[in-house]
Structure 1
Amino acid sequence: MERAMVGVFFSLKYIYSTNANMVPILKGIQRNKDLQLVLIDVLKDSLQQEDVKCIAVICDAVYLNVFDGAFYKRMYDMPIVMIVVEEYEDLLSPNFDTLESLREARKEGCDPYVILLANGLQTSRLLRFGDRYRILDTRAKYVMLHDYRLFHSDLHYLWKRIVNVIFLRYHNKITGILKSKAWFDLSTVPFPNPIKKIFVSRRVDIWRNGRFHYNRTLFADKTSNLNGEVLDVVYLDHVPSVVVTKSNDSDKVGGVEIEILNTLSEKMNFVPKLYQPINADLHKWGTKLPNGSFSGLLGEMLNGNADLALGNLQYNPYHLELTDLSIPYTSQCWTFITPEALTDNSWKTLILPFTLYMWIAVLLVLLITGTIFYGLARYYMNLQEYKKYNRLGNDQNIASDDTNDAKPVGLYLFGQIINSILYTYGMLLVVSLPKLPTGWSIRLLTGWYWLYCILLVVSYRASMTAILANPAPRVTIDTLKELVDSKVTCGGWGTETKRFFEESTDEIQTIGNRFEVINDPFEAANKVSRGVYAYYDNEDFLKYISVKRKNSLINVERDSFNDTMNITDVEVASSDSERNLHIMSDCVVNIPISIGFHKNSPLKPLADIYLRRIVEVGLVEKWLNDAMYPIKSLQLNEEEIKALMNLRKLYGAFIALAAGYFLSCICLIGEVIHWNCVVKRDPYFDKYAMDIYYMKKNKKQ
């Protein structure tokens, strides 16, 4: 504010130095004196309504003497930023001093603006420049001279943005009537009424004899009640902001932003007229054309055809430069939808319940326990032999049959190392022993080993049940690093999205190098299902295209099979040839989402107030859940279908059975070869006395 005061003092010095040169030109003319009085009254009315930080005055040499000492004295020391322009200066491209002064006034928050320029073309070019580059605060209050050149049809768009304006029109006193005096007609733009082909201003008040005739509020709020005016609203079908559902021959439009629009229309009293841009499916939000114009939704806003825009507009510098955006009503997670790996681990079903280290521990316990059983059995067998020989002595007359007496009960189960391992393995499979072995040490070990086997088998069965009942685990891409390492092609809508990735300084710049622009999201989903693509959009929209594509595939398969297959069979058939779609769990960026207004729209401040209240009471979250409910319900049904049992999950059992058949056949062939090539060729072999053959063979061993 100190800089503003310095500008005032400097301007005052310039006024006093040039005022002497202006006296001969304005000699005998009282118009500027009356203009000063009405201007003071208008500014006082503005100062009484709200707290004013400063006043910005833009004038030329013709109206410079309006701002003399009397004017500043009546302004009660209000800071004033004075900008004096030359009559030949082109304000569509102002010089450096003028531009810096305008920026300083905008920075200091000056309101109102007083524009007194004798040349109406200069005023129009100043307004066009200030609106295009946002140098002037179009939502501030304006006081300017009435000039027909300001109301040309090419400038009608300005009066849809600058609505808090008072035009001062000077009327001379009536000739021939002595008591008549000069007076001013105060008018404004007819907002919210649309301007047709001809601009017709609306009278606000009349100033005569130092006072207002009607004493109306000069700068009344024109946006609180739009009196049922029809506002054009362009929309784009993009879940969950705008959801278009076909009903017979008509389209029903819903979604979060439609609900917000209905609330704003009720509070601000306007009627929304919804329409879609031309070739919305192709152009969508719109891109810059070679001639400098824009297509799609942004083109409708920039051309002045629409007052509001609905379509999941991101709150980013690109959109803020072209349009005005409301305060964000939500924040969306923008990420990629990626293909799931086709790796099928059904053949590993039998080993999936335990991890690698668990299986190693089980195998080691099996070998160690089997060895211990074998050691204890051999100890008891040797002990029995020792007792037998100790009792009978070295009697040589003992028959040979006595030396081959039966072994102690049950010890033959573990008498050989191979049998010991096999029976230990049998207990692990909860197969009971044919006989209880002799010896308390073996019996105690058997009991505790049975407890271990029961606990292990129960854990294995529970884990196996969960694996068979739940969907098979998927190999997915869930982080940016995994996406970069996967080397799949990435894509999304719009060159701005591609530029976002290319200009990044972290690892996602690699994604920008292989990023492709694609207009059709369902075509992108088909490419993702083939495992060669990853599509970028907000998480809710990715869920929508994933579920919709899955249901369309189900309908196609159902028609092709004449309703002979159920949904589960269709899912299996479709998943055999294509990959499932997976949404990355990591967000690339969380982007605020807003509603669009045309550039410098006067509706935005009040709409922001209502929108903030809507967000605070939780209506946006409720409407978002309503918009996504059909999609989430279909997604839950899909997961329930995946949880059913199917033949593929038993691949592991069939593989184990096949492996057993194969090994058994090899062992059978080996035994046949051994019988024919080894046993039959033995000189002691006699097929009629096999018991004598094996007895002699055991004696040799």
Structure 2
Amino acid sequence: MRKVQAMLLITLVFAIYCGSASRLPIASGEQVKMLDPYWAAGVVLRATPRLPCSVILLTEDRDSSSPELLESVVVRTKMKGHMRGMESSSARRHRSDTVATSCKAVHAGDENLDCQKVIELQGVDGGCVSSLHVSETHLSVAVFRAAVDGQDANMTQAQLTRVIVQARRVRQSSRCVTVVVVSDDPAFLATFAQFSLKGRLLGSSTRLLVVTRLPLPELRNLLISHWTFSMMNSVFLVLHDVSGQPGFGVYVSLPYSANGPMVVKVAFWMNKRGLLPVSQLNFFPQKFTNFYRATVNVTALPYRPYWSVVDDVDSDGTIVKRYTGSDARLLMTIAQALNFTFRVLPVTTWDQVTARVVERASFMASIYHIVLPQRQLRHDFTYTYEHVFTDFALAKPSLSSNWQSLYDPLADVVWASVLLAVLVVPILLFVITRPLVGDEYERKMGVSDGAQVVIATLLAQSIIKKFPRGSSGRVLVATWLVFAFIIGTAYRGNLTASLTLPKYPPRPETIEQLVKFADKVTMPPYGEQFLQFFKQSDSNVFQSLSKLMEIVPTASDGLRQASRMKEAFMDGRRYLQQMIADHFTRSDGSTQLYIGRESVLPGIAAWPIPHDAPYKPQVDHLMMRVIEAGLYEKWIGDMLYQARQEGRRRQLEYQQQQYREAVGDADYGGKLKALSLRHIQGPFILLFLGLCLSCITSATESVVQYITLRHLIRKC
């Protein structure tokens, strides 16, 4: 019973298969005799699920007038109904105007060229001929011909380069573009593959249809050796003539499949049966939804907390590298979703990280890079998943020698007020306590006695003098004692605080302050793009910053120079925080460097990938899903939490070591942090000045006494 059901199912499928195949176009008798490549290309384009809106036809056949066949086949009634159902009349008119405008833009400056509804563009340099067709069915076909017969390789490359530049302009002004290349010359196809990649003719969504009569083994070599044919959204249509019966086969290169890289035949055309599919694959299949556990090359360098490498011991005792960090986990998530494994190519510099991407030896640089116009000229970027801040790090200013340590606890106005009080109060004491008659006359206070009382009480010293019994004098002295107590307590408290927690000099916190303060600003090798960006900026601050910038080999070198000299180092904020915590933090938890409050250049970051990479949509989609789910921020938080835990562990080890040393040392008090001469140099300076003043006074008194004595002797 099951066998009967299976046979019925197979019969039904075959009937549907043949029915669908019979509806595909069949060549007329005249075309069967000599199967035209343009007609065959039109058959394949008509059979694709998503119909093209614009076609760019590139051929080396100068004398052929058959490109019109491609248009006539594609725009038959079936396609007309489909396109009219998809577009309004205004949209079709707009697209026709766009293609016509692009034609004028491509050939601007050549007075011999003109754009009409159906035109021939003659006289392009070196025998290149181009034509643009804008049919009434609103399918635009731009035709570019490059004659290569009898010309050397340099001339062919020059012509093909100009043609590709023009074709790219047409592609940029249209949508859903399909590029059709017709050639039987393997050298021409190889040159096209090379220069179309350099000229960025094919976008990630652009389709490529190559029509050729090359033998299949030679075609396989082309597919394997060129990125354009193997990785891009390309299909090969191979014309053949077997036993006098013309036909063609449709081949697709699959770089990743269950059986590895392979070339698959998806359909063939026969005169009697039309176009017959032989595979479940579409003519332009999605090649990068499943990598089938293939190994993909990536590049990255340690850059915590985004990417770090840890040597781990496997179960068999071998040492394996384990990658951690937020970007590493993001790559692992993408690899799991697309079913591939990754291999990190060995690189030593950041220039090599992006150079491997530009060379297409690496699929992507799986470490964040700030999006800059200078970088976009060399490679593309994935989805911008991170907002980054480029900051600067400087050495914390040290406590310089300051003789004003005794003066700093009080403000200038307070010192002036205290001095005024010291001068006024002794006079008031003299005036208030001065008796005119009686026994109190002997207890009078002079100005010097009042000054002694005021200064002694201000310095919390005892008083030998006897005070008058009058109430007015007692009120004045009591008031002064309260004043002296408050001022003295405040002074001693601030003095203690300033000695234990001294006031450091002001430090740069903004870009303007950095430019005025630093002698040099360093960055790693990838800072060359930042240097060019600052030079081209209209900001005077950025231009001044570019004059101070210098490239250093590594970030560690730049941070070490910043810790010893009057220099600054610029990099990402999170990376600076991680580097300072790992390498420039003392055992007591204090750091040698600080990060400025104002960011130099806020921006967005993404992964570098090759220009027009066909797998970019898949990678962008997965990255967007990870960011929207909040996983990336969680991974960043986990890395910073681990860094804080490591810092606490180091601090605990330091405290335990201090305790062990203290237990084994009788003089434990020596382990406490002592005040240095830098802290209390003010009293010593004051003592030195007092000694000098006393010496000068003593010498002056001796001189005066000697002069007086000689004067008396002369009188006698």
TM-score, normalization by structure 1: 0.70
Structure 1: how far apart are the matches of 2:620 and 2:71? 40
Contact between 2:385 and 2:624, CA under 8 Å: does it hold in 1? yes
Establish whether residue 99 from structure 1 lines up as the match of residue 165 from structure 2: yes
State the partner residue of 1:587: 599
Structure 2: how far apart are the matches of 1:487 and 1:517? 15
Structure 1: how far apart are the matches of 2:395 and 2:505? 10
Structure 1: how far apart are the matches of 2:604 and 2:408? 43
Shift of 1:668: 8.7
Q: Which amino acid aligns with 2:379?
A: T
Establish whether residue 518 from structure 1 lines up as the match of residue 552 from structure 2: yes
State the partner residue of 2:47: 42
Structure 2: how far apart are the matches of 1:272 and 1:455? 72
Gaps of 5+ in 1: 1-22, 176-180, 287-295, 389-401, 555-566, 683-701
Establish whether residue 231 from structure 1 lines up as the match of residue 296 from structure 2: yes
State the partner residue of 1:620: 632
Establish whether residue 490 from structure 1 lines up as the match of residue 502 from structure 2: no
Q: Deviations over 1:110-155 (max 9, x none)?
A: 3333334454544443332221121322432222225455543596
Distance of aligned partners of 1:432 and 1:174 in 2 relative to their CA distance in 1, 3 Å threshold: farther
Structure 2: how far apart are the matches of 1:99 and 1:593? 30
Shift of 1:344: 1.3
Structure 2: how far apart are the matches of 1:613 and 1:33? 43
**Which of 120, 125, 128 is the matching residue for 2:194?**
128
State the partner residue of 1:696: none
State the partner residue of 1:315: 371
Of structures 1 and 2, the one scoring higher in RCO (CA 8 A, sep 6+) is: 1
Contact between 2:290 and 2:338, CA under 8 Å: does it hold in 1? yes
State the partner residue of 2:453: 423
SS of residue in 1 equivalent to 2:384: coil
Distance of aligned partners of 1:666 and 1:285 in 2 relative to their CA distance in 1, 3 Å threshold: closer
Contact between 1:333 and 1:539, CA under 8 Å: does it hold in 2? yes
Contact between 1:308 and 1:596, CA under 8 Å: does it hold in 2? yes
Q: Deviations over 1:11-47 (max 9, x none)?
A: xxxxxxxxxxxx9x9795355586266325323x123
Pairwise CA RMSD: 4.5
Establish whether residue 205 from structure 1 lines up as the match of residue 270 from structure 2: no
Alignment of 1:67-466 (within 5 A): 67-69=70-72, 71-74=74-77, 75-76=79-80, 77-88=137-148, 90=156, 93-94=159-160, 99-146=165-212, 147=214, 151-152=220-221, 156-159=225-228, 162-172=231-241, 183-193=247-257, 200-208=262-270, 209-213=273-277, 216-246=281-311, 250-277=320-347, 280=348, 284-286=349-351, 296-342=352-398, 344-345=400-401, 347-354=403-410, 358-359=411-412, 361-382=413-434, 384-386=435-437, 388=438, 405-407=442-444, 412=445, 415-416=446-447, 418-429=448-459, 438-449=469-480, 452-453=483-484, 455-457=486-488, 459-461=490-492, 463-464=494-495, 466=497
Distance of aligned partners of 1:452 and 1:114 in 2 relative to their CA distance in 1, 3 Å threshold: farther
Q: Which has the larger radius of gyration?
A: 1
Shift of 1:305: 2.9
Shift of 1:270: 0.9
Contact between 1:55 and 1:111, CA under 8 Å: does it hold in 2? yes
Shift of 1:263: 1.0
Distance of aligned partners of 1:674 and 1:453 in 2 relative to their CA distance in 1, 3 Å threshold: same
Contact between 2:204 and 2:616, CA under 8 Å: does it hold in 1? no
Q: Which amino acid aligns with 2:621?
A: I
Establish whether residue 597 from structure 1 lines up as the match of residue 609 from structure 2: yes
Distance of aligned partners of 1:547 and 1:93 in 2 relative to their CA distance in 1, 3 Å threshold: farther
Shift of 1:480: 3.5
Structure 1: how far apart are the matches of 2:620 and 2:327? 14
Q: Which amino acid aligns with 1:656?
A: P
Q: Which amino acid aligns with 2:176?
A: C
Contact between 2:36 and 2:66, CA under 8 Å: does it hold in 1? no
Distance of aligned partners of 1:424 and 1:143 in 2 relative to their CA distance in 1, 3 Å threshold: same
Distance of aligned partners of 1:103 and 1:422 in 2 relative to their CA distance in 1, 3 Å threshold: farther
Query: Could you tell which deviates more after superposition, 443-452 or 185-194?
Result: 443-452
Aligned residues: 586
Q: Which amino acid aligns with 1:374?
A: P
Gaps of 5+ in 2: 1-27, 81-136, 150-155, 314-318, 656-670, 710-716
Query: Could you tell which deviates more after superposition, 319-328 or 27-36?
Result: 27-36
Structure 1: how far apart are the matches of 2:515 and 2:259? 54
Shift of 1:237: 1.9
SS of residue in 1 equivalent to 2:254: coil
Shift of 1:192: 1.9
Structure 1: how far apart are the matches of 2:673 and 2:703? 46
SS of residue in 1 equivalent to 2:366: strand
SS of residue in 1 equivalent to 2:392: strand
SS of residue in 2 equivalent to 1:625: helix
Q: Which amino acid aligns with 2:378?
A: L
TM-score, normalization by structure 2: 0.69
Counting aligned pairs with the same residue, the percent is: 16
